[in-house]
Structure 1
Amino acid sequence: MTSIKGRSVFGSIARGKLTFYHRDEFIINKIKVSDPELEYKKYVKAKNAALVELGELYDRARLSVGEGDAQIFVIHQMLITDEQYDSSIRTKILDEHFNADYAVASTSRSFAEMLAQMDSEYMQSRAADVKDVSNRLLRHILNCADKLPILRENAIICTGDLMPSETLLMDKTKIKGFCTRSGSVNSHTAILAKNLGIPAIVNVGAELSDEYEGKEAVLDGYSGTLYIEPDEHTLRQLEYKEAVEGRKKELLTRLKGRKNITRDGHEIKIYANILNSEELELAVKNDAGGIGLFRTEFMCFDRPAFPDEDFQFYTYRKALEAMEGKEVIIGTYDIGADKIPDCADMSAERNPSMGCRGIRFCLERESIFKTQLRALYRASVYGQLSILLPMVIDVSEILRVKELIVQVKAELIKEGKKFADNVKLGAMIETPAAVMTSDIIAKEVDFFNIGTNDLEQFTFALDRQNPCYDRVSPKNHRALLRMIKMVCDNAHANGIKAGICGEIAGDPTLTEIFLELDVDMLSVVPSRVLPLRKAVRSISLKDPKKAENDLKLFL
């Protein structure tokens, strides 16, 4: 038996045969060209083709692992179009007269080396993204086909490091685990493996040799150890560990149907965020108390036109019926920023994250918006529907939406179509403007959902996808938590509830703080529902001195 130690990415145990993957290495020659303009056109053509591919990969990833992790491929698009990266390649071709493949390869090497030498592990892991992007460009320049391994059943993929696109494109039905010689637990590939539920170990080093090809192995994702041809004693130990961890997961499932209530009687709702029918099934499976945010804009991708009223009606009806009377909060289209489907036909904006998006888009395209409202109200008779308006900045937007709702109801009545009278209307609080006027907005809506993802980046003046984000953003969330407190106070003063549906809602280190701030609901990815319920049930808020000290740390 041989054991090799690495770093764990996803805690689980996998059994299978080691399958080594070696990507094609490009042979790059440094050549002075006589026609740099022609060479530059070759590069531009490759860049455009790569951008199209990355867009397709984004759409595939969005459906399989969710919008958050699909952002990997948005980042890759940003890298390809990065001014410094593009300028370096352009200079090497047009000014120095080098061939396009050498210009890309040398620029990639320089950028990757610079990132690898940084102190931040997060920044070091971005070197893999630069290599992935550059390999994609080189493949188009050199007219090479994309190559992926031919997988046997129950394969444990072994390689130097995996590019994010390779992780996504491999046939996951045949893969039991990943094991890489290098790589980081912060790499996009590691994140993808975790969210796909595939056990993975990174950074095992040179001991992972090709001589082990085809050998039986067990990958222990809990300890970060790969056992090659394990002996009977090791197998028994791993079986015992798997049984223990399985019992822990089973204990979580016993929380299904129980209230999310602290030891001293403080209750909070725990809902799930979803964006498709697969995630709806996971929300039901994990016993979510409701749907805290159904992102409808993703229905618009891969379509020549916006989905019609009937398609939307049946989609919303399915979600309402599946939740069997539990609240389902459906967000109206949050189109804009990095979520612009082709059918939106939007002109390019210099900074789309701060441009025409969310409720602004809907109010500019009233016919599209009214079609969505009609579908929502028609579906409302099949469950407990609440409608959420994204990117609100002023109460005037709420008032205009209410006027449109009156029009929609009148049309449905005239057509003899039923709708529920108890549909709630909420505002997504994700801009500083909405925070500061939340006392006014609260008088016109039935609830608040605090969208912390966008609120964070607008508050810190830093894009959440920026490589510097982890290094620069405040670790104690103080400014954000003060905003949450203000929103909750204004909501409760006006007799409405306030929840959080951003990423930090699932952060267990903040759960007690959220309870102390009197947040009414936390909405998280479906897999976090039961762990968060367990965390809530372990907390007691009886000690006022401790609560006061906790809040002082943050507020």
Structure 2
Amino acid sequence: MKGIKASSGIAIGRAYLFLKDIEVKQHDVANRKSEGKRLDDAIKVSLNQLEEIRLKTIEDIDKKSSAIFEAHKMILEDPEFIPEIKSLILDKGYNAEYAVSCAVDKYSKIFNSMKDEYLKERGADIKDVGSRIIANLMGYTFDLKEIPSGSIIVAKDLTASDTASMDKTKIKAFLVDKGGRTSHTAIIARTLEMPAIVGLRDITSKVKTGDYLIVDGNEGEVIINPDADMLKLYNKKAEDYENYRKRLKELINLPAKSIDGKEVTLEANIGTPDDISAALTNGAEGIGLFRTEFLYMNRTSLPTEEEQFEAYKSVVSAMAGKRVTIRTLDVGGDKQLAYLGMDKEQNPFLGWRAIRFCLDREDIFRAQLRAILRASAYGKVSIMYPMISDIGEVRRANKVLKSVMEELDKQGISYDKKLEVGIMVEIPSAAMTADILAKEVDFFSIGTNDLTQYTLAVDRGNSRIKDYYNYFNPGVLRLVKNCIDQSHKYGIYTAMCGEMAGDVEATKILLGLGLDAFSMSSTSIPMVKDVVRNTTMEEAKALAKKALQI
């Protein structure tokens, strides 16, 4: 069986089938006020459980992985979600279980309809919280503490709560019907360096507890009840993979330099300050993309300048002089902030988002720029504008930036007056006019996720046309090449922060095209470095030339 590669590695062990389906039925309640009290009690119990799980996760995994349970607690305190459940009980007379189920269905559908893969997966968090409330209302418990040692967990889906309650020392791998690379199962598996395959569709109907399984997370393949020859083959593959991992760890402090001396920079993409530890552990030479949206989401009001400053400062300080590229707010479209009353759009990826939003809402933009500039006094900071389509947007953004700098100067607040300002190249028009843009920015950072879907007219969230989404398409590669060539012509550098930068199958091509910096998920850094260090530029350029023609 084939699925989506979520976390690399090879595991061999016995299946442990984990299914948890609660049937919720509707019935009218006689005392609506009393039913509302039942809900309140279940929410209180749920909050206490989540705090216990959060603390256990910090102890068993790390602080970063526990953040999901803070988000779950916020859902239970959400000013829209909980009142909607209460309304269904008090106004319509629904029983609490059914009211929760209705509200969960509504909000999870909203998230599932979003184009952004990460936000789409957050619908699973809503379901997880809803399942917890319903379980507490009905007196259900799901005990995953007594898993047999050496188990491979097979499930329809796994929530944050499920994985938190498991004894990780007894688990070898995860296999799930649903999910993508940004699902909770995938994230936890990568954190634990444990093989995982998601999106298997019907693995739960083909496997029973006790079946012998081979999980090849490197290829996204599952083998059920293998024969002796297959077991022998994969035992050897598992041994080879462990040796490969050990060799990668030896590369952490070595430069990303080709056999013939061409050196490139390998940086990490991060979403919160908690990601810094993994970046440094894997040898990141800087932060090539610091997504700032986490500060604005899962809350009911805008973050203050001070909140933003402290978050940026913590990352800049932790990187101790290494470059930190902070992307200004990329929100709008499918990343809607309810508290701003943003309209739902038919084509959110072509809508009011990123720099377009910031230039219209200059008050929000200025507050963020002030926070970033203040943080630049504590290390090496670069500012990056997302979703740039033409030079006019760059000039307008820089005009606001200059005004903010003048404001800080008048107030006597220090910042790095020489910090670099660059743009994300993710719209074809920007890639095609790179010669114009290069004259007025300090760097490019290519966002291949959006650049690919815009260039090929492929919705990367649509599974029916996923095979058309291909950043190796010569049309995409030629846009990448033009950015690199024009940046070098005008004396600036080009980085890449899309998925392609962390794909080892693309490393030689990008090296041959002349890419200066690769920014990726932290765990991909050692693997990309290994490719760079075992490649010659002659080989890389020949491969790149061929790729541009295919």
TM-score, normalised via structure 1 length: 0.71
Offset from partner CA, 1:204-248 (integer Å, 9 cap, x none): 7888545x59xxx997657957899xxxxx99x97x987764443
Q: CA deviation at 1:458?
A: 1.2
Shift in alpha-carbon separation, 1:71–1:184, aligned structure 2, 3 A: closer
- Partners of 1:373 and 1:183 in 2: how far apart? 39
Alignment of 1:122-137 (within 5 A): none
Equivalent residue in structure 2 for 1:310, among 298, 306, 309: 306
1:290 touches 1:323 (CA, 8 Å); kept in 2? Answer: yes
Identify the residue that residue 94 of structure 1 maps to in structure 2.
none
The answer to which of 274-283 and 538-547 deviates more is: 538-547
Q: CA deviation at 1:426?
A: 0.3
Q: CA deviation at 1:524?
A: 0.6
2:446 touches 2:496 (CA, 8 Å); kept in 1? Answer: yes
Q: CA deviation at 1:543?
A: 5.2
Could you tell me which amino acid in structure 2 is paired with residue 171 of structure 1? A
Identify the residue that residue 18 of structure 2 maps to in structure 1.
21
Percentage of identical aligned residues: 29
Q: CA deviation at 1:19?
A: 4.9
- Partners of 2:139 and 2:447 in 1: how far apart? 39
The answer to which of 380-389 and 200-209 deviates more is: 200-209
Identify the residue that residue 107 of structure 2 maps to in structure 1.
52
What is the SS of the residue equivalent to 1:426?
strand
Alignment of 1:386-397 (within 5 A): 386-397=382-393
- Partners of 2:303 and 2:459 in 1: how far apart? 30
What is the SS of the residue equivalent to 1:420?
coil
Alignment of 1:392-471 (within 5 A): 392-471=388-467
- Partners of 1:276 and 1:545 in 2: how far apart? 36
Shift in alpha-carbon separation, 1:280–1:68, aligned structure 2, 3 A: farther
2:145 touches 2:167 (CA, 8 Å); kept in 1? Answer: yes
Equivalent residue in structure 2 for 1:354, among 350, 357, 378: 350
Offset from partner CA, 1:170-205 (integer Å, 9 cap, x none): 426524245669789999787567545444477778
Equivalent residue in structure 2 for 1:171, among 141, 164, 174: 164
Identify the residue that residue 328 of structure 1 maps to in structure 2.
324
- Partners of 2:466 and 2:312 in 1: how far apart? 36
- Partners of 2:370 and 2:24 in 1: how far apart? 58
- Partners of 1:279 and 1:150 in 2: how far apart? 30
Identify the residue that residue 152 of structure 1 maps to in structure 2.
145
Q: CA deviation at 1:44?
A: 11
Q: CA deviation at 1:390?
A: 0.4
1:374 touches 1:408 (CA, 8 Å); kept in 2? Answer: yes
2:460 touches 2:469 (CA, 8 Å); kept in 1? Answer: no
Identify the residue that residue 254 of structure 1 maps to in structure 2.
250
Q: CA deviation at 1:21?
A: 2.7
- Partners of 1:314 and 1:483 in 2: how far apart? 37
Q: CA deviation at 1:484?
A: 0.5
The answer to whether 1:363 aligns with 2:363 is: no
- Partners of 1:23 and 1:431 in 2: how far apart? 44
1:69 touches 1:191 (CA, 8 Å); kept in 2? Answer: no
Alignment of 1:262-277 (within 5 A): 262-277=258-273
Equivalent residue in structure 2 for 1:71, among 89, 108, 120: 120
Shift in alpha-carbon separation, 1:328–1:185, aligned structure 2, 3 A: closer
- Partners of 2:213 and 2:376 in 1: how far apart? 50
What is the SS of the residue equivalent to 1:468?
helix
- Partners of 2:371 and 2:178 in 1: how far apart? 47
**Unaligned runs of at least 5 residues, structure 2:** 27-91
Could you tell me which amino acid in structure 2 is paired with residue 403 of structure 1? K
What is the SS of the residue equivalent to 1:334?
coil
Could you tell me which amino acid in structure 1 is paired with residue 19 of structure 2? H
The answer to whether 1:517 aligns with 2:513 is: yes
Shift in alpha-carbon separation, 1:146–1:439, aligned structure 2, 3 A: farther
2:124 touches 2:159 (CA, 8 Å); kept in 1? Answer: no
What is the SS of the residue equivalent to 1:509?
helix
The answer to which of 320-329 and 407-416 deviates more is: 407-416
- Partners of 2:176 and 2:506 in 1: how far apart? 35
Q: CA deviation at 1:367?
A: 1.0
- Partners of 1:73 and 1:146 in 2: how far apart? 26
- Partners of 1:474 and 1:9 in 2: how far apart? 18
2:389 touches 2:429 (CA, 8 Å); kept in 1? Answer: yes
What is the SS of the residue equivalent to 1:330?
strand
2:7 touches 2:195 (CA, 8 Å); kept in 1? Answer: yes
Could you tell me which amino acid in structure 1 is paired with residue 121 of structure 2? I
- Partners of 1:165 and 1:544 in 2: how far apart? 41
Equivalent residue in structure 2 for 1:500, among 496, 521, 537: 496
- Partners of 2:270 and 2:537 in 1: how far apart? 30
Q: CA deviation at 1:502?
A: 0.6
- Partners of 2:544 and 2:225 in 1: how far apart? 49
Equivalent residue in structure 1 for 2:482, among 486, 500, 514: 486
1:148 touches 1:170 (CA, 8 Å); kept in 2? Answer: no
Offset from partner CA, 1:369-388 (integer Å, 9 cap, x none): 11111111111011110000
Q: CA deviation at 1:437?
A: 2.0
- Partners of 1:247 and 1:219 in 2: how far apart? 19
- Partners of 2:104 and 2:178 in 1: how far apart? 27
Offset from partner CA, 1:243-273 (integer Å, 9 cap, x none): 7644432221211221111111112111111
- Partners of 2:244 and 2:276 in 1: how far apart? 24
- Partners of 2:485 and 2:249 in 1: how far apart? 34
Could you tell me which amino acid in structure 2 is paired with residue 492 of structure 1? H
2:160 touches 2:184 (CA, 8 Å); kept in 1? Answer: yes
Identify the residue that residue 280 of structure 1 maps to in structure 2.
276
Shift in alpha-carbon separation, 1:466–1:525, aligned structure 2, 3 A: same
TM-score, normalised via structure 2 length: 0.71
